[in-house]
Amino acid sequence: MRRAVDTEAGEAVISTSLVDRCRRGDRDAWRDLVAEYSRYVYAIIMRGYRLPESDAEDVFQDVFARVFERLETLRDDDALRGWIAQVTRNLCSDHLRRAHPHEELTEATVTDVDDRLADLDDALAVRQALTRLPQGCAEILDRFFCRDESYRTIGGALGIPAGTIASRISRCLDRLRREMAGRDPAAGASGGE
Amino acid sequence: MDEREIGRLLRLLPAAPAEWTLTAQELPFLSAELADILERARGDGGFRDGLRADPDTTLRDHGYDLSPSVMAHLMKLLPEDEPDQS
C-alpha cells in the first residue's frame, strides 16, 4: 500500500497511502480500495463460506461498510489484506450462526475454510500483480485465463493478429512473474503490449 | 509458478457483480442520506408507499439522487410493517 519515494535530499519518505486517503474521506481512494479488494471479499464469501448469492450481497456490503467505519483502528496499513479477510470471515460466521442457530461451526468446517482462503490469498497476490502490469498485458492475460477466450477472439477484440497471441501471452506471463517477484524493470517503461 | 498455476489462481477471483461493487463504493458517503430516507419512510406512510411503488420518482421528487444500485440496496432496508406515525 505504501510507496517510498525519494526526495531531492535523497531521503525516503512514505507517500500518502491509499488507506490514509480513505481515512480522510477521499472518495476516489475508497473507490480504488473497493475495486482492489472486491474480488477477494466476493471469493471469501462465495468460495470460502459458500453463502448463497441471495445472502452474499448483504454480507459483501456489510464487510465494506465495516472496513470503512473501522479503518481508523487499523494500526498497520500493510496489514490491510489480512484485516479485510478477518472482517469478512467474522461477518460470514455471524451470518451462518444467525441463519443456522442450532448448528455449530465445526473444526472441520473451519479447517476447510482455512484451506480455501489460503488459496485465495495467493490468488489475490497474482491478481494484484496483474493490475500493476501495462494495460495491454493485463487485458490479454485476463481474457485468456479468466474469460477463456480463444486466440482468435482475443486477436479480434484487441486488433492483434491471432498468430501473435501465444507469444504475447508468454511475454506477459514473464512480466507477471517478475512483478510477483517484485522486480520488473521493464514494467512501466515501455507502456505495455 | 507455472502457467497453469497462474491461470488457476486468476480464475479463483472472478469479478464481484458490478452492482455490488458500485454500491460498496458509494454507501459510506450516503449513510446520512439513507438514514434520513429510512427515518422518513418510518414516519410517513405516503412516502413509504411511494417508495415501494416507484422509488425512482419518489426519491427524485423529494430531492434525493441515488444510483440504481444504491436504490436497490435501500429498498432492502425499507421497513416492512412499520406503523405510520404521521
| A118 at interface of B, judged by CB pairs closer than 8 A | no
CB under 8 Å to A45, separation ≥6 — which residues? A51, A56, A59, A60, A63, A88, A92
Place A28 in a pLDDT band, splitting at 50, 70 and 90.
very high
pLDDT score at B54: 92
Facing B24 at nearest CB: one of A34, A120, A126? A34
Tell me whether residues B13 and A123 touch, CB distance under 8 A: yes
Interaxial angle between packed helices A107-131 and A27-43, expressed in degrees from 0 to 180 and rounded to the nearest 10: 130
Q: What is the ipTM of this complex?
A: 0.76
Average pLDDT over chain A, rounded to an integer: 84
Facing A124 at nearest CB: one of B13, B20, B29? B13
Assess whether pLDDT exceeds 50 at residue A187. Answer: no
Assess whether pLDDT exceeds 70 at residue A105. Answer: no
Q: Which residues pair with A14 in a beta bridge?
A: A4
Which residues in chain B touch residue A66, judged by CB atoms under 8 angstroms apart? none
Interaxial angle between packed helices A151-158 and A165-180, expressed in degrees from 0 to 180 and rounded to the nearest 10: 90
- Residues A129-144: what's their mean pLDDT? 93
Tell me whether residues B76 and A58 touch, CB distance under 8 A: yes
Q: What is the CA radius of gyration of chain A?
A: 20
3-state secondary structure of B44: coil
CB under 8 Å to B29, separation ≥6 — which residues? A25, A27, A30
CATH fold of A4-131, please? Rna Polymerase Sigma Factor; Chain: A (1.10.1740)
> Scanning every residue of chain B, which has its alpha carbon at the shortest distance from the alpha carbon of A129?
B10
Inter-chain contacts counted by CB atoms under 8 A, chains A and B: 85
pLDDT score at A107: 60
Q: Which residue has the cell 500500500?
A: A1
Q: Which residues pair with A6 in a beta bridge?
A: A12
Tell me whether residues B9 and A173 touch, CB distance under 8 A: no
**Spans of all domains in chain A:** 4-131, 134-184
Assess whether pLDDT exceeds 80 at residue A80. Answer: yes
Place A118 in a pLDDT band, splitting at 50, 70 and 90.
confident
Distance from CA of A175 to the nearest CA of B (A): 12
Question: What does the pLDDT profile of chain B (86 residues) look like in tens digits?
Answer: 888 999 999 999 999 999 999 999 999 999 889 999 999 998 888 999 999 899 999 999 999 989 888 888 888 888 775 455 54
Selected residue of A59, A60, A179 to mutate for chain B interface (largest B Cβ count, 10 A):
A60
pLDDT score at B1: 83
Selected residue of A42, A59, A142 to mutate for chain B interface (largest B Cβ count, 10 A):
A42
Q: pTM score, two decimals? A: 0.78
